[in-house]
Amino acid sequence: VCLQEKNLNGKHCGAPWLERRYYYDLKEDKCVLFIPVTCGETSGNNFSNRKDCFEKCIPDSPCLTFRKGRTNGTSIKGYSYHPGIDVCLSAKYRENVKFWPQYNRFHEQQKCQEECAPQVPIQG
Q: Are residues 10 and 44 in the same domain?
A: yes
Q: Is residue 95 part of a domain?
A: yes
Q: Are residues 28 and 74 in the same domain?
A: no
Q: Are residues 16 and 45 in the same domain?
A: yes
Q: Are residues 55 and 76 in the same domain?
A: no
Report whether pLDDT(124) > 60.
no
Report whether pLDDT(15) > 80.
no
Q: Is residue 124 part of a domain?
A: no
Residue 66 CB burial class (10 angstroms; 0-12, 13-18, ≥19): middle
Q: Are residues 53 and 83 in the same domain?
A: no
Q: Are residues 48 and 83 in the same domain?
A: no
pLDDT tens digit sequence for 34-78: 988 888 999 999 999 999 999 999 999 999 999 988 766 668 899
CATH number (domain holding residue 89): 4.10.410.10
Longest dimension (CA), the chain: 52
Q: Are residues 22 and 67 in the same domain?
A: no
Structural domain that includes position 41: 1-59
* Nearest alpha carbon to residue 85 among 58, 34, 62, 51: 51
Question: Which pLDDT score is estimated for 71?
Answer: 65
What pTM was computed for the model? 0.88
Report whether pLDDT(80) > 90.
yes
- Find the mean pLDDT for residues 79-91: 95
Q: Is residue 50 part of a domain?
A: yes
